[in-house]
Amino acid sequence: MTEKPRTRMTRDNTAVLLLDHQVGLFTGVRDIGVAELKHNVVGLAKAARLLGLPIVAATTARDSMWGPTVPELRAALGDLEIHDRSTVNAWDDEAFVAKVRETGRDHLILAGLSFEVCASLPAIAAQADGYQPVVAVDACGTFSLHKREAGLARLTALRIEVSDYSTLMVEIMADNADPKANDVYAALDMPFATLMGQVAAGFAK
């Protein structure tokens, strides 16, 4: 398959896939602090909702092995349905892929736990199906630094982009004059940005 040229992510072409941020899997995370990971994935979800990006969320073996989505993310997703599946690779689940296709978006931001399996395997498969995936690495976690390094090396070899949760959302927001800008920065938990916006507004009076 000929690789498509990279195009920019926008509010009209991008969806967010949140995969397997489950209570049981969080207990094994060793490459990033659990509190930081929760902060980052919740910020990603909140900002995506503010920007109007469709979110497709999924768990694996929720009732038999890995438990429910962590409460902080569940709350951030509101009443969004979280799809459960049995497959290791979410892209092997036809119902999940159908939900992604229903968004009508061909740019995908993925975050998952574990990074090298739950986020990376569907990113690899989605790329093969013509999508443009980007993995938000700091909204992912895994079970050792070696696994993170191996996962990063694999994505690099396959020319799949890796970025961080806040850069991706700010890139899509695009303009700090956007009426939602302060809310987006607050959702990303960047209070210094909101504060500076308020200071600037005060000076303008």
Q: How far apart are CA 131 and CA 106, in angstroms?
A: 5
Distances (CA, A) of 201 to 177, 180, 191: 12, 15, 15
Determine phi and psi for 83, rounding to 5 degrees. Answer: -75, 135
- The CA dihedral of 50, 56, 61, 63, to the nearest 10 degrees, is 50
Q: How far apart are CA 26 and CA 54, in angstroms?
A: 24
Six-digit token string for 168: 């991706």
Whether the CA torsion 96, 98, 102, 106 is positive or negative: it is positive
CA 172 centroid distance within chain = 13
Residues labelled catalytic = 118
One-letter amino acid at 193 equals: A
Element housing 57 (H / E): strand 55-60
One-letter amino acid at 150 equals: A
Residue 61 gets which letter from DSSP?
Answer: S
Quick one: 13 exposed, middle or buried, by C-beta within 10 A (0-12, 13-18, 19+)? middle
